[in-house]
Every structure is written in structure tokens, then in C-alpha cells.
Structure 1
Amino acid sequence: MSVQMTIRIDDDLAAFIDQATKVGEGSRADVINRAIKREVRRRAAQRDAQIYASDADPDLETDAYAAWAAKNANKVWSELD
């Protein structure tokens, strides 16, 4: 199921979308849907990283990653925006 929406997009983003459609990446709706799905996945990954970071077990090898994720999550995600 899909819902029709009317939205305003900045000129530079519209140009990006139009260029993507010209090179065969699908319709405007396809390009926008992929971008929104990517954002949904990014937010889910960010939540997962925060969960891993808050649930450290001193006996697990992944604790080093959990500590790194907790310390760097905001920096890493801001680079994706």
C-alpha cells in the first residue's frame, strides 16, 4: 500500500533526485523511498548501537566495541546526516 503525499524539497535535493532518475535509478518516488528507508535503517542501527553500549558484560570480547560505540555514537551518526 502507498500513500500519496505533497512535499516541498530544497532545490539542490530536487536536482539530486532528478539526476538520479535521469541515470536510471527509478522514478522520483523510487529515489525518495530508498532515501527514507535508508534513514529508517540508520536510526534502527543507532538504537541498536546504544543498546549494545548500555549493556556491557565484562566477560564479553565485544565490550571494547560497546565502549567505543557509546563514546562515538553521536560523532559517527552526525557524519551520516
Structure 2
Amino acid sequence: MTTQIAVRLPDEIVEYVDALVAAGAARSRAAVVLRALERDRQEHMAERDARIYAALQGDDRDDFDGMASWSVRQSMDID
């Protein structure tokens, strides 16, 4: 499901978004905004996870070290 919303953006941001669409880097203005918001959401989730990991102590933390070592070697297809 999707919901249409209206937002006000500075002219220079709209020009940037329109340039991305014109260059074929995005299908639409909505696609540009969605991609930016998804990246922002992923960043916030990663920060939350990092805080959780940083709070781990002893054996709990050791369990995640192997997973962390493995994950940094994986490619990320975020687009």
C-alpha cells in the first residue's frame, strides 16, 4: 500500500531531484525521495544496532564478533 503526501522542499533540492530524473538516475521524484528516506531509515537502524552491540558485555559480545567479521566481507546491494 502507498499513501500520497505533499511536501515542501527548497527550490535547489527540487532542481537536484529533477536533474536526477532527467538524467535517468531515477524514475520519478517520488523514487528519489523514497530512496533517500530508505537510506536514512537504514542509517538509523544501523546506529540503533551499533548502540545495542556496544552495550553488550562478556560472552554476549563474543558471540557477535564472528558474525561482525563475516558481515564486513559481504557486499551490500542497497539500491
User: Offset at 1:12?
Assistant: 1.8
Which amino acid is 2:16 matched to? Answer: F
**Secondary structure in 2 matching 1:38:** helix
Q: Percent identity?
A: 32
**Secondary structure in 2 matching 1:39:** helix
Is residue 45 of structure 2 the alignment partner of residue 44 of structure 1? yes
Residue 4 (structure 1) aligns with: 4
**Secondary structure in 2 matching 1:48:** helix
- The unaligned stretches of length 5 or more in structure 2 are 69-79
Is residue 16 of structure 2 the alignment partner of residue 16 of structure 1? yes
Tell me how many residue pairs correspond in the alignment: 63
C-alpha separation in 1, matches of 2:12 and 2:48: 30
Q: TM-score, normalised by structure 2?
A: 0.69
Q: Please, what is the CA RMSD of the aligned residues?
A: 2.1
C-alpha separation in 1, matches of 2:58 and 2:36: 35
- The unaligned stretches of length 5 or more in structure 1 are 66-81
Question: Once the two structures are superposed, what CA deviation does each residue of 1:2-51 show, in whole Å capped at 9, x if it has no partner?
Answer: 11111101122111111110111210001111111111111000000000
Is residue 49 of structure 2 the alignment partner of residue 29 of structure 1? no
C-alpha separation in 2, matches of 1:56 and 1:8: 45
Point out which structure has higher relative CO (alpha carbons under 8 A, 6+ apart).
1
